Structure 1
Amino acid sequence: MVNRLADATSPYLLQHRDNPVDWWPWCDEAFAEAGKRDVPVLISVGYAACHWCHVMAHESFEDEAIARQLNDNFVAIKVDREERPDVDAVYMTATQAMTGQGGWPMTVFATPGGDPFYCGTYFPKQHFSRLLTSVVKAWRDERDGVVKQGAAVVEAVGGAQLVGGPTAAISAQMLATAARRLAEEHDETAGGFGGAPKFPPHMNLLFLLRHHERTGSATALELARHTGEQMARGGIYDQLAGGFARYSVDAHWTVPHFEKMLYDNALLLRFYTQLWRLTGDVLARRVADETAEFLLRDLGTPAGGLASALDADTDGVEGLTYAWMPEQLTEALGAEDGAWAADLFQVTPGGTFEHGRSVLVLARDIDAADPQIVARWRDMRARLLAVRAGRPQPARDDKVVAAWNGLAVTALAEHAVLTGSAASHRAAVELAGVLADRHIVDGRLRRVSRDGRVGEPAGVLEDYGCVAEAFLAVHQITAQPRWLRAAGRLLDVALAHFGTGTGGFYDTADDAEKLLTRPADPTDNATPSGLASVCAALVGYAALTGQTAYREAADAALATVGPLIEGHPRFAGYSAMVAEAALAGPYEIAVATDDLADPLVATAWREAPAGTVVVAGAPDLPEVPLLAGRPLIGGRATAYVCRGFVCDRPVTTPQDLIARLDR
């Protein structure tokens, strides 16, 4: 057996390097080998923090008998869906077309040409073994039927990826309808939308906050506030160390699937920061601060950049690190504090999770309690966290993904300017430097790096959008022109190489590796769609530079998802969020000042609606378009407020600036 995964940058592939399966990475040579041997291909797709991926690996891919079946009769290819989202998207579409559902691990049998002819997800060991036998028999005895089925699936996948559907320009009525549809699906008891399993609807929540700011809708704000509170008090939130798990298996946010993903926590940091800005809610502020701390403490990598995820399992057991029994609380805290903690965190003798263990939830309001109670609670959390630190810890997927680090940069920049966090400010700038210096190679983005070494996979559309948006955020908090220029170069690549010709975008570049189809999915999934993230950056870049061509490109792309926003807003939250900013103008605020501590700067950030672009810096900086030609008035810090490229009279007091924005 040849170990072809030993030099992979993907921790997921490295998890499989010692399997008895003769794995290949995704490459042309693997398909050529299948053609040479005249055998079908097994394409196994997953990611490092995936619980059921681990289960299938232990049951099947570590089994010598199954490995012999695979090695003798197939070419087996292992794919990290986070490293190759383009490959994942194409074969997930095929899996959903064949089975009506999808998920990971994804198991695809394909011809040597890559055409899928049988798809599924997790298969138990005995089922998988029988399936391998059946596929071998079908390949040997029913080849024509297998090939025809593969061709039919490819045709179906191509149809699912068609671009150029109906369009509708963004309007106030469209966004009002989207907000109303979300309200209709809102869980009035537990928050969120729909039933179990529940994923944090961060992108929808960001949309609702912006909708509230533009329209004054109390309903939109309450939907977001209620959901934010319920998630923060649930087991999906790590009540000791901060950070959110990927999703809750129940409808009440109690029992999570324990993996912690960078992208979820970046988007939730942004949401809770903005929720605190709008409401002053102390719970929202605490959760924002703790989530920022979690990102930097637990996901920071020695070579720079943030790791992708913490695993769902510890030593093969879900929740081993995080769940508690009452007697464990007593052992850690003593009888009195242990009983108090069990009551506060709802740790019961029967358990809320498995095997008598409970996931910690916050049963009642504690942030606004008597200071002595708050102090006792903080001390108790610190003691429990110290005990937990002595337990086995989940593995970490330490690859650095460009798009997800971009999301984190934007969130940290907003947290920095709104809360005054020096750590978040410093981290946002440093992370942006990692993306600029390591992930941009010959003017093009690379998707992943690990241990300071950049990987081969090319950046996809979401990488360009999220990283460009991140560079714009850092430009705003530093007033350094290099970040604005870097964002513009990425957007020029996106417009030149990813456009569909009908206003929308493909998810892969026109010069990228050719797959069965060229994916173009405008819907949000776990992360913002590539189209939505690029639109966010286009709107921001146009506002910061005054170059209207970028705004026109954003408007055209948003029109391609207008019907989706109106009819299915749960799958277009980020696009709706961007549309809110576009419909509001957005505001453009330049604060010319020799003192960044001037109250006018903080007022601009705190009072401007989300989506506003704000730059504060020395007066009349020619390399910073928003500050060029804008002097101090009367020697005082001066705010210039524009909206949709039309400007008001400058103001010099926080009161006048607030009045401008309120108007």
Structure 2
Amino acid sequence: MTSRLAGSASPYLRAHADNPVAWYPWGAEAFAEAARRDVPVFISIGYSTCHWCHVMARESFQDAATAAELNDGFVAIKVDREEHPDVDDAYMAAASAFTRNLGWPLSVFATPDGRAFFAGTYFPPSPRGGSPAFRQILAAVRDAWTQRRTDVQQTADAVVQALRTAQDAASTGSDLPDVDALAGAAARALAREDREYGGFAPPGATMATPKFPTVPLLRFLQAPALAESVPEARAAADRALRAMAASPLRDTVDGGFFRYATRRDWTVPHYERMLTDNAGLLEVALDAGDHDTARGVTAFLIDVLQQPSGGFAAAQDSESWIEGQRSEGGYYARDTDGRAALEPPALDGKIVTGWNGMAIGALARAGAMLGEERAMDAARWAADAVLETNITADGRLARASLDEIVSPAAATLEDYGLLAGGLLALAGASGEVAYAARARELVDDCLSDGGVPAVPGGGDPVLTAHALPGGASAGDGDHPSGPSALAAAALDLWLLGAGERYREVAASLVSSRAEQALAEPTAHGALLRVAARLAAPPRQIVVVSDGPSALVDAARRLPADVTALVTPAQSLLLADAGFTLFDGKTGTPLADSAASADSTVPTVYDCRDFSCRLPVTDVEALGR
């Protein structure tokens, strides 16, 4: 049993603390030990709700003989990909040199300075289906290290050089895309729509082809800038949402969505449930006007994933215990009454900063659009919890926490951007200036190095120390990448009147990745959505009211790039804090002379195409 993982802020690492493998957590100590012993490093990357990670753990990492071979010939490192996404990105990119079957668990063999020279995913305990046994892999790697060291070093050098070349090519700048270029990207994405079952699939997909929600792509297709040039874009996103919501991918008991379907028709889900997917699909449902689905996801986020601390758990497991056996999906196959007698699948209670930002923003918008105060309360609670707990000793953001134990993993650009975006959405929905001001600080923290966007503190120290390149592309997978998230938050700040420099930051981030994003729209949906918002004149709506009214209800459902619901006092505070959108927007005084001098009627300010209409105080005028 090892004690190195027992006090981790990761449930995934804690679950491996009693393995006979002498695991190290990610950090400089492990690599120093490998150099001292002159042995290779085995890096095992996964996450707590990963089914095949559980399987490999049971078959290999809990096996005494396998553990003995690992301990004797390697330094073994266990990494939670959700705690260290930049580490996962770097080694996933390296693994692509050795296998096309990428995924988790990710098994990487590296030199003591961190350079990968062989990689794969799940390895079985005995040869199976053309895959060698894990112990055979260990023996072969150990033989190569001791007998053919020069070949190993050359392979590691070649992988690093190839990644650096790809990284340099991916960072080549281009012009900011216009609406025509974005329409072309949307058309390329629509060519992969599965018109029979909804969603998107590669050419030649069979019924056995897995199907994912692809939330960032759906959000791009919902961009208002595409409405006239590619009207089919929003229709395709709506079709995808309807298909998913009506399929086994959605849990009919509590409204949450599973990670993906293993079949093209959205059946046979992979039963883990992720915070990122559900927060993103809540946004999709709100934009699609599907309020039933939106309310279902809202309930799932609050009732299942929100923790006693206020933050949201990262995920819920696919496996549970039923009648003394581990069951994959068995809990979810039962109805409400059937589940009542069972222990629910475990939660990964890790509070990931950026992912909580996604949930905060989605719930704040749901609260505003649907008039659900519970959603607003949950968003505030989570925001306060993350801002209080997920902070390092030097005052910077931490990547995650668990049971108020702060992870040593540095926050990523994704964390800063997504949390800032969530706080800005919460500020707009609640009118509370503190959230907007803190969001601006987070974005400014990423611009402190001469205005060039970068992670405060320089990112992961081990990757930096060994000069290990990350992934060649900052793509948007199941949620926005760091550059996309920061660009979106910066653009939101500009829309609130924080200053022109924030638009320039957003435009620079989009331009630096535009060429690749336009060519591969399915992998860069979040960046393209920001590009679409930059390509069209904005619509900004400020609703000033001391309480609910029919006008407020009508206004908060209007399509806009930013909608802010504020009291007259809050509008003054926001204007004083430097958010110039609120300048002079304090409502319309009551005509009744007997009323208090500072009493106002609900007022809507509608700014479009860089000009503002006259204030509106009744629903009929708002409609016109």
Do they superpose with TM above 0.5? yes
State the shift of 1:197 in Å. 0.9
Between 1:236-245 and 1:207-216, the stretch displaced more is 207-216
**Counterpart of 2:118 in 1: which secondary structure?**
strand
Match of 1:451 among 400, 403, 411: 403
Partner residue, 2:320 = 314
Q: Deviations over 1:461-503 (max 9, x none)?
A: 110110000110111112111111101110011222597x5xx
**Counterpart of 2:119 in 1: which secondary structure?**
strand
**Counterpart of 1:440 in 2: which secondary structure?**
coil
The answer to whether the 8 Å contact 1:497/1:509 transfers is: no
**Distance in structure 2 (CA, Å) of the matches to 1:539 and 1:428:** 21
Q: Kindly report which structure 2 residues correspond to 1:140-155, keeping only aligned pairs within 5 A, or say none.
A: 140-155=146-161
**Distance in structure 1 (CA, Å) of the matches to 2:272 and 2:139:** 34
Partner residue, 2:390 = 439
**Distance in structure 2 (CA, Å) of the matches to 1:508 and 1:95:** 28
**Counterpart of 1:549 in 2: which secondary structure?**
helix
Amino acid at match of 1:99: T
State the shift of 1:101 in Å. 3.7
**Counterpart of 2:478 in 1: which secondary structure?**
coil
The answer to whether the 8 Å contact 1:214/1:584 transfers is: no
The answer to whether the 8 Å contact 2:171/2:513 transfers is: no
Partner residue, 2:279 = 266
Match of 1:628 among 558, 562, 583: 583
Partner residue, 1:280 = none
Partner residue, 2:370 = 419
Q: Deviations over 1:315-342 (max 9, x none)?
A: 4331121236xxxxxxxxxxxxxxxxxx
RMSD: 2.0
Partner residue, 1:117 = 117
**Counterpart of 1:76 in 2: which secondary structure?**
strand
1:184 aligned to 2:191? Answer: yes
Distance change (3 Å), C-alpha of 1:435 and 1:643: farther
Match of 2:521 among 548, 565, 569: 569
Match of 1:390 among 308, 317, 341: 341
**Distance in structure 1 (CA, Å) of the matches to 2:263 and 2:608:** 44
1:486 aligned to 2:438? Answer: yes
State the shift of 1:638 in Å. 2.4
**Distance in structure 2 (CA, Å) of the matches to 1:601 and 1:214:** 25
State the shift of 1:509 in Å. 5.2
The answer to whether the 8 Å contact 2:424/2:436 transfers is: yes
Partner residue, 1:403 = 354
Between 1:647-656 and 1:142-151, the stretch displaced more is 647-656
State the shift of 1:575 in Å. 1.6
Partner residue, 2:307 = 301
State the shift of 1:628 in Å. 3.1
Between 1:515-524 and 1:106-115, the stretch displaced more is 515-524
**Distance in structure 1 (CA, Å) of the matches to 2:213 and 2:240:** 9
Partner residue, 1:649 = 614
The answer to whether the 8 Å contact 1:86/1:508 transfers is: no
5+ residue gaps, structure 1? 277-283, 325-383
**Distance in structure 2 (CA, Å) of the matches to 1:140 and 1:546:** 59
Partner residue, 1:235 = 248
**Counterpart of 2:557 in 1: which secondary structure?**
helix
Partner residue, 2:138 = 132
**Distance in structure 2 (CA, Å) of the matches to 1:534 and 1:493:** 11
Distance change (3 Å), C-alpha of 1:216 and 1:430: farther
Match of 2:458 among 510, 514, 525: 510
**Counterpart of 2:70 in 1: which secondary structure?**
helix
Q: Kindly report which structure 2 residues correspond to 1:194-593, keeping only aligned pairs within 5 A, or say none.
A: 194=201, 195=205, 196-211=209-224, 214-215=227-228, 217-276=230-289, 284-315=290-321, 316-323=326-333, 384-441=335-392, 442-496=394-448, 501=452, 510=458, 512-515=460-463, 516-518=468-470, 521-593=473-545
Amino acid at match of 2:179: A
Distance change (3 Å), C-alpha of 1:33 and 1:644: farther
**Counterpart of 1:561 in 2: which secondary structure?**
helix
Q: Deviations over 1:414-438 (max 9, x none)?
A: 1101111111010011111112222
Distance change (3 Å), C-alpha of 1:631 and 1:25: closer
State the shift of 1:224 in Å. 1.6
**Distance in structure 1 (CA, Å) of the matches to 2:522 and 2:620:** 38
Partner residue, 1:98 = 98
**Distance in structure 2 (CA, Å) of the matches to 1:520 and 1:506:** 16
**Counterpart of 2:532 in 1: which secondary structure?**
helix
Distance change (3 Å), C-alpha of 1:154 and 1:191: same
**Distance in structure 1 (CA, Å) of the matches to 2:282 and 2:92:** 29
Question: TM-score, normalized by length of structure 2?
Answer: 0.90
Amino acid at match of 1:33: E
Amino acid at match of 2:252: Q
Distance change (3 Å), C-alpha of 1:229 and 1:534: same
State the shift of 1:179 in Å. 2.0
State the shift of 1:213 in Å. 7.1
The answer to whether the 8 Å contact 1:192/1:227 transfers is: yes
Distance change (3 Å), C-alpha of 1:632 and 1:295: closer
**Distance in structure 2 (CA, Å) of the matches to 1:22 and 1:187:** 47
**Counterpart of 1:99 in 2: which secondary structure?**
coil
Amino acid at match of 1:487: A
The answer to whether the 8 Å contact 1:40/1:109 transfers is: yes
**Distance in structure 1 (CA, Å) of the matches to 2:68 and 2:462:** 31
The answer to whether the 8 Å contact 1:106/1:120 transfers is: yes
The answer to whether the 8 Å contact 1:204/1:570 transfers is: yes
State the shift of 1:583 in Å. 2.7
Q: Deviations over 1:264-319 (max 9, x none)?
A: 0010111112211xxxxxxx322211111111111121222011111122243311
The answer to whether the 8 Å contact 2:320/2:343 transfers is: yes
State the shift of 1:66 in Å. 0.3
**Counterpart of 2:358 in 1: which secondary structure?**
helix
**Distance in structure 1 (CA, Å) of the matches to 2:517 and 2:621:** 36
Q: Deviations over 1:510-556 (max 9, x none)?
A: 36414112556321012111111111111111111240110111111
The answer to whether the 8 Å contact 1:95/1:101 transfers is: no
**Counterpart of 2:588 in 1: which secondary structure?**
coil
Partner residue, 1:365 = none
**Counterpart of 2:417 in 1: which secondary structure?**
helix
Amino acid at match of 1:3: S
Distance change (3 Å), C-alpha of 1:164 and 1:564: closer
Question: TM-score, normalized by length of structure 1?
Answer: 0.85
**Counterpart of 1:410 in 2: which secondary structure?**
helix
State the shift of 1:13 in Å. 0.4
Distance change (3 Å), C-alpha of 1:652 and 1:217: farther
State the shift of 1:244 in Å. 0.5
Distance change (3 Å), C-alpha of 1:229 and 1:518: closer
Q: Deviations over 1:354-379 (max 9, x none)?
A: xxxxxxxxxxxxxxxxxxxxxxxxxx
**Counterpart of 1:252 in 2: which secondary structure?**
coil
Distance change (3 Å), C-alpha of 1:221 and 1:115: closer
Amino acid at match of 2:267: T
Q: Deviations over 1:553-587 (max 9, x none)?
A: 11111122322332221111112222232233322
**Distance in structure 2 (CA, Å) of the matches to 1:648 and 1:15:** 58
**Counterpart of 1:621 in 2: which secondary structure?**
helix
5+ residue gaps, structure 2? 127-132, 591-600
**Counterpart of 2:250 in 1: which secondary structure?**
coil
